[in-house]
Structure 1
Amino acid sequence: MKTNRNLIQAVRLYKFQSLFIKSLILIFLLVIVPFTGLSVVMYLQMNKAIETEVSSINMNSLYRVKDSIDNIFKQMDRVSLEMIYQDDVGSFMLSDFINSNPAKMQTIRDKISMYTRSFKYIDSLYVFSDKNNYMLSNRSNSSLEEFDDKSWYSSVYQKMDSNLSYLDLRKRNDTYPFYISITRPAYLYEDKIGAVTANIDLEELSKFLNQTSEQFENTYIVNGDVVLYSLNRNEFMSNIQDIDLLNGADVLADNKEPHSSIKTIHGQKYIHSVLPSGDKGLTYISLLPLINYEQKMKDLRAFLYVFFGIGTIIVLIVSLLISIKTFSPVNQIMSMIEDQEKLEPLMISSEKSKWNEVRTITNSIFRTLDAKKGLEQELQLRMHSLRKAQTIALQNQTTPHFLYNTLETIKYLAIELTKGHNPVSHMVTALSDLLRRSLDTDNPLTDIRDEVQHAKQYVEIMQARYPNKFDVVWQIQESLLTCHILKISIQPLLENAFQHGIIPTRNPGQIIITGLRTSDGIVITVSDNGIGMPDAQLKKLQQSMASGVNLEEKHIGLKNLNQRIKLIFGDEFGVFITRNLHRGTAVFIVIPEKKDLHEIV
């Protein structure tokens, strides 16, 4: 119960920043995104499968209609050829057969009647003799001028210019019924002597196709831009531009190859299947409304919605359980940290008897907190020691502001007496600046550039007092001038080199100040060519500087500087002294490379 209470408290306090909430959202997204993608892919695949199935059914229906029509056209062409190749029909076309052989004419009529009775969709069969200008048919025998189908000769016979069969869509006498006329011309050598025409009644053809093959409501046979066949007789011989479905489907642009596609016509989706027939130049078209399959699609969507809803709930529950299980160790750590004082003795006493990751992490946190407290106390002690050491340095360096103000007064009196700047005023100015920099106690650190300037002012004073006694060479890298160093650090080394190294020789000397960047940090070296230091004294001084911090040190020399560096930067840094290779002494200041004061304090 306590763990659950802490979990609720963590969520309430941290809200969306809570580790539990973040874990829950992350796990939920990692699972729900693939799950959603899988559901969408499954829906699209099933939807595509249904559309493919419908397209296949639609195209198969077109193939059956095409096969039926092709068989009919072949039968009619074969009937025409059989009639042409019969001897009595040939005699009728080539000779004056009408008056001389009435019995054979009756025989031809009987054969015509046999074919029209055998095929219900054949309305009539014409046998025409160009020589006699006479027509035999199952309707009547008469000359062409008296024949009741006046439009046949001009719309069919006169248009034929080869010995191939000719298909024509027409109306009998331009009124009714609607015919598909398949005409086979008869030739003797290169002369056309007549023709046989089989007239297929479109309405009877529609009845025949309904009996022999499955058709959908919007099935069309198109010849060019004219509808040759439709289940709706009102659309026979109509232009496709006058039929909304065909005009919207843009069939003329899609009749190159057999194919099926989905088209939206007047806001409704159709499976649009096109099957070209190169034999007679016809195109078979079917437009199957997808609304007929809408129930399947609704059932599919309903299944997917239920599947997705249940899956989302399951994913949410699983994500919640995983998040709670994942957050449980963190929750235990939070509880232990909150009750640190109560739990710490228990954990220490039972640490050896029972081990787990949470206990180890918590003990590590407690040790870190204890170490932090110790570091804070040590830091306070060091800062106190640093301020005390700096105060001692400043007290031994100069007197209070009274001395600085007195020197400024002396400088102006000297300028007034000589009516301008003079060596005395320059020396007083340098000493005043030296004092002013020394009295600035706001910060124990300064950049190397400022410290060098401070040391140069000291050199200026000493060179005025001891002209031609020593030279100072500065060799500090330009890139180091922005790094930080302790205040009043280079000047004490210069003073030691001059007072204890150069002056006792009674000869001119040289002091070299170098600044280099090394693997240990920044090394500032002050070396001189003075009398040097006896070995015993050098060893004693090195041992003294290697000892701990001594807050009772009253001088601002090497020991004080060494102690201040260690206090501010750490025990691995400080001041080191050695003998020069040839003559004199070298003192090294080793400090870390820090350009930002916040990196130090």
Structure 2
Amino acid sequence: MKSEWSGQIEKLIRKYRLRSIFFQNLRQLFRLLLIPLLIMSVLIYTAYHYIEEKEMKSAYGDALSSLEEDIDSMIRSVQSQITQIAFDTDVELYMNQGTDGAQFELADIQEILKVPLMTQNYMSSMYLYARHSDYVITEGGMFDYSLFYDKEALEFYYREMRPKGLRYAGTRVPGKSRMQLSVYQEVHYNAVSEGLIVINLDLDKLVKKSERNDGDQVFLINGDRIVYATDESMADKNVSAIQGYENCAEGEIDVGEDYCIARSNTEVDGLKLVTFSKNGDFHQKMMLIRTVLFLVIAGMMILMVIVCVRVSERIFRPIRLILTEIEKNRLSLVGGEQGFQEENELSYIIHSIKQTAYNSQNIEMELADRIRLLKKAQSVALQSQINPHFLNNTLETINWMAMDMLSPENPISEMLEDLSVMFRMALEDTDIIIPISQEIEHASHYVKIQRIRYDERFDLDWQIDEVLYQYKTIKIVLQPLIENAIYHGIKRMEGQGLITVGGRLEDELVHLWVEDNGPGMTEEDLEKLKRNMNSEDIRESRHIGTANVNQRIRLYFGNQYGIIVHNNQGRGCRFELVFPAVK
């Protein structure tokens, strides 16, 4: 019943489209259920959007707070390290006396600088600069200022950031393109600036430890300049380069259409922390909720469609039963003819009744015509059995008369004898397929007749492998191809012609071919021949025998077999038969 109902629906779609009574009912039911479904979908979407925005703010807020805490902790640790270094005795001696007095212990100062670098992986380097000696001490030794690798950071401080106190700046890592956060602290003894303590922080290591997505960006801003950015191309730019920065207030989280940005202040005066995230990463995390919502809405849609279809089916059931019965009668009476288009099923029912009544009146006339044609075919079949015998007997009589009038051996008798044998082989044997050896014999008699007719203008070379003699072929396939080679090849050339008839067995397939050394065919004639051979109807043409053979092979053995034409314009043509090897 389900497949029958599906077939009915398919026919309704094809015939009436949306004019069908079934679809009219379905349309009305959709209208009744669609409005509540749309309202519910809007409510679900609004709730999802609210939940998503809330979850985004919560997630990004937690990540921002965690990162802010880490940075504040880092700053406090740096301040502690600077205070400890500034009050160290050896550092004070170095700052006051430089290298002249040499009363400080360089190894002790290096040890003070080395310990924080070993314990705090975010501290990339640390050094002391004494102004009056113009030397720099790092954990690796003492260097002349003019040869120091990070001289640009020191020059930047004295050029741009001279005010007293703890200062922060984004600088380039020496020899690299990425940024670092440099912390500067001038060392004063007796209100006199004796030098500078510099700690370079690798914020990449600190940021990587924080709980954030790989695509999230982190910015540290000092004033209106970006001193650090996970995206190196954003470093040292104005804050206006950050998308959505102006729309986000201090301590707030702003959720845009495709991004989320959060701002907060660190414990360092003037140093701000900003995180920027594309919503795509968060949307992936919310995929489960979206999937559930989508499945709910899709389920409601499917349920609505099922309900509407089932109700429409029940309403349409009586009409469907009538249509089914009409279709059964139509198939039995008029062969399923669908020659008219109606407005809907009701007009179809009325029209079908009228058409059935009209066809019923013509059944007797059609039946009478078929009986008449059958009797005519039987008469023609009986006549065709008589004519061959009469023609064969006549040929035998003419042959004896020629022998009596001329001599026992003369060309006329030979032609008559070959012709008589050909007719006897073609008409008396009722088998559809015959041995290839018998087909060769039939073709050889035809060749003898044609050689006499054309005054031996051509020679014939038989190259058929004797292995093929045990296999079978349909009757009369070589003679039409030889005839085609004579009329369209040899006849159109000057000089002595040559026709080659060959055959071989290859991959359980029989290959028989007829090849001439005539002028061949033009491309236009070749295309016409191929169209004629591939046509289901045999039309009058220059190669009607070839098309006849090709179609008979296909009818008996299958469409994958037949004749292959090899044309060599100016040097001849080859027609090759291919069919399965059958014993």
TM-score by length of 2: 0.42
Structure with larger Rg: 1
What is the TM-score normalised by the length of structure 1? 0.41
